[in-house]
Amino acid sequence: MAVPAAAMGPSTLGQSGPGSMASWCSVTSGPTRYVLGMQELFRGHSKTREFPAHSAKVHSVAWSCDGRRLASGSFDKTASVFLLEKDRLVKENNYRGHGDSVDQLCWHPSNPDLFVTASGDKTIRIWDVRTTKCIATVNTKGENINICWSPDGQTIAVGNKDDVVTFIDAKTHRSKAEEQFKFEVNEISWNNDNNMFFLTNGNGCINILSYPELKPVQSINAHPSNCICIKFDPMGKYFATGSADALVSLWDVDELVCVRCFSRLDWPVRTLSFSHDGKMLASASEDHFIDIAEVETGNLRRIFCLSPLAIRTSFVISSLHITNKPVL
């Protein structure tokens, strides 16, 4: 049975220099005018709506680059795509073909019609919403659990349960490179400049490789326990990590120093999302709510409560969306 993680501070708290947790890694006191204004806006739009999407647990959701579509992947071996219309989602299609759970998916960074799914059936599939068909199936060596698309759109990286990350050419659909790691690889991501590749691992570290050389650049001791997820802010100023210690840490991209921590969750942080303008950060765990905070201060913007049923078989959309494009 899972036990709530203690909200303990990172082991390097108070140190300085690249890869450290700076002494100001904390939430500032007192809400800003911006936060107060947005809190008022949230109070006026504080409704949530559940959308049945799958017959089994939802493992992944992601917005298209234009913020118009939401895709979901499920243990039921399918992906679904919904179209956002004002304050509701309209289901467009189901995407079938995988022989095992769809564990993660992501959209093309600049083409809103393409997305890719990673599955335990040892394949990835690229889909086009205009044709509703799979346009490519790429066989991989292991059961895939994480995937990301490079910012330039040319490469797809997929990680499997054996901690192997494969880099696939998005045009030829052939493997360009493959890296075996000696640690548990959790989530993977390029930086916004496409010249570094980041991995979070089971030792609480963030491993950084040069790209495309894939040479080790730095390993950051980010958390005292399993570092689960990572997300880059659209403005390129910060990236955030979530951990089994129930903390979210915010890092300066250039200095590689932690500038702030968010500690309102009680369970391991499973997923993160920045708003289109990089001003808000949403974080979620096994807690039945989503924490939304102002990035620059850490002040609480809003908590959305979720039902256990919604977490298991549906996804939830609030009347204010944390998307890649403004929809307010």
Query: Cα separation of 242 and 249, whole Å?
Result: 7
The answer to whether residue 26 scores a pLDDT higher than 70 is no
Over the stretch 88-113, which tens digit does the pLDDT of each residue have?
889 999 999 999 999 999 999 999 99
Nearest residue to 113 via CA among 171, 64, 63, 61 = 64
Cβ–Cβ under 8 Å, residues 71 and 105? yes
Q: Determine the 3-state secondary structure of 228 from DSSP.
A: strand
Q: pLDDT band for position 37 (50/70/90)?
A: confident
Does residue 189 contact residue 232 with C-beta atoms inside 8 Å?
A: yes
Would you say 273 and 322 are in contact if contact means Cβ atoms under 8 Å apart?
yes
Task: Tell me how crowded residue 188 is: count the other CB atoms within 10 A of its CB.
Answer: 19
pLDDT > 70? residue 28: no
Distance CA 255, CA 107 (A): 29
247-254 average pLDDT score: 97
CA dist., res. 194 & res. 178, Å (int)? 17
- Residue 322 confidence class, pLDDT cut points 50, 70, 90: very low
Mean pLDDT of 248-259: 96
- Walk me through the domains of the chain, giving residue ranges and CATH numbers: 59-180 (2.130.10.10)
Share of the chain above pLDDT 90, in %: 67
Instruction: Note the pLDDT of residue 229.
Output: 97
Higher pLDDT, 305 or 311: 305
Is the pLDDT score of 310 beyond 50? no
Tell me the average pLDDT across 301-313. Answer: 50
Task: Name, in order, each residue with C-beta under 8 angstroms of 53's C-beta and a sequence gap of 6 or more.
Answer: 72, 74, 80, 82, 91, 313, 314, 315
The pLDDT score that the predictor gives to residue 77 is 97
Question: What is the share, in percent, of the chain residues with pLDDT greater than 70?
Answer: 82
Region 159-163: what's the mean pLDDT? 97
- Decide which of 172 and 10 is more confident: 172
- Residue 267 contacts by C-beta under 8 Å, 6 or more apart in sequence? 2, 4, 5, 246, 285, 286, 287
User: What distance lies between CA 30 and its chain's CA centroid?
Assistant: 28
pLDDT at 88: 82
Q: What is the pLDDT of residue 51?
A: 83
> Which range among 49-53, 62-66, 98-102, 282-286 shows the weakest confidence by mean pLDDT?
49-53
Element spanning 169, H or E? strand 164-169
Nearest to 221 by CA among 86, 18, 13, 20: 20
Q: What pLDDT sits at residue 132? A: 86
Least confident stretch, 33-37, 53-57, 94-98, 133-137:
33-37
Higher pLDDT, 45 or 24: 45
- Please tell me the distance from the alpha carbon of residue 186 to that of residue 200, in angstroms, as a whole number: 5
The reported pLDDT for the residue numbered 231 is 97
Per-residue pLDDT, 318: 41
DSSP secondary-structure letter at 77?
S
What pLDDT score was predicted for residue 311? Answer: 38
pLDDT at 290: 87
What average pLDDT does range 117-124 have in this prediction?
Answer: 98
Q: What is the pLDDT of residue 2?
A: 38
Residue-level pLDDT at 159: 98
pLDDT for position 3: 34
Q: What predicted TM-score, i.e. pTM, was given to this entire model?
A: 0.84
